[in-house]
Amino acid sequence: MLHALLLMIVYVFQGMIFPYFRLFGFAPLLLPIASTGVSVYEGRYTGGIVGIFAGILCDVSFNNPAGVFTVTLTIAGLLTGALADTVMTRSFATFVICSAAVLTLCAVIQVFPLLFFRSVPLQLLLATAIRQTVYSIIFVFPIWFFVRALGKRAQRISS
């Protein structure tokens, strides 16, 4: 229930608020950060499930009927959660690194069709992708408090 509330709040900010408050023409990607945080702090199963719903909301936010973000965030949630369950520590640094990796993957996914099917210059796409990723990574800090609290709550319940 709290995960759904987190995703809905993040979706409202990503899809309905930040498009009107762009920084240098860019809006941040917040749903990948939220799903990555849940994966880091709660593991592969919860991360995968939250990744599915975050991906659906991300696809809705970008009016993307192909479901590319749904598949990407689900796989990213499962993989990040599996790494957190086995070899990574559940820390802020891990969360930042994993969020940066997932945001970079999302940027590549957004750039790919424009580069190969619309022939948009690579320099322009890279500049846009880098700026959007840097702008998005700023929101790791406020989202971290919520995903960490959800992770601690899940640990208390399972103990």
Per-position b or e across 8-22, b if 16+ CB within 10 A of its CB: eebbebbbeebeeee
Answer whether residue 159 is part of any domain: no
Residue at 158 is within a domain: no
Would you say residue 78 lies in a domain? yes
Instruction: Please tell me the chain's helix, strand, coil percentages from 3-state DSSP, rounded to the nearest 5.
Output: 80, 0, 20
Which amino acid appears at position 13 of this protein? F
Position 73 in a domain: yes
Q: How far apart are CA 31 and CA 55, in angstroms?
A: 8
Cα–Cα distance, 43 to 77 (Å, whole number): 8
Range of the domain at 69: 2-6+27-151
Q: What tens digit of pLDDT does each residue of 61-103 get?
A: 888 888 899 999 999 999 999 999 999 999 999 999 999 999 9
In a domain, 14, yes or no: no
* Number of structural domains in the chain: 1
Can you give the CATH number for the domain in which 137 is found?
Answer: 1.10.1760
Q: Is residue 12 part of a domain?
A: no
For the whole model, what pTM was predicted?
0.93
Whether 115 is covered by a domain: the verdict is yes
pLDDT digits 0-9 by tens, 12-62: 999 889 888 887 778 899 999 999 999 999 999 999 999 999 999 999 988
